[in-house]
A and B are shown apart, each in its own frame.
Chain A
């Protein structure tokens, strides 16, 4: 079972449109991170959300952490072709007395000119 469920898996839109990507879990997280990854490159951290209900803005990107700290969303306003990429959410989960950073399956976004 995937601990972090992302939706949609694939999204293809026209430049200028708005979109929202979701990251959901049945578990509570102390924080969630959002990354953007381009083909053949490593993930680049966009934001970390920590407080339930928190909203963070990064230019045209708005990130929200659910009140219960189980889910998060990423909203992009007026998408540009440069926003194309794989968007991953990640959270730290306990495992066998330790912890590890796990990723959702990602949302592959394509913004067409």
Chain B
């Protein structure tokens, strides 16, 4: 299957700082990328959908000014958690969609464990 690389796999940051997470599709062009958040023993919650060259679409309840998403190219999307707080600690996962019906064949990155201290 297609490969999606997410970096870093884990990060610890101080409260109030910002953290950037990268999501790359290595062997295909992803017109759409998705960002999810997962709490322990819970399922994935879609945060936002990003399309290359346009603004991301955020799910209800997700603060767009806090979770900045940039989809600069067909192979790279970034999620920046701004002014992070301990409650932002979570497992963040990206996925990339191929084809017109984005997410029909969606492949996930390895995830990023964010810990805010």
Decide whether A and B assemble into one complex.
Answer: no
Q: Using a CB–CB distance below 8 Å, which chain A residues touch chain B?
A: none
Q: Using a CB–CB distance below 8 Å, which chain B residues touch chain A?
A: none
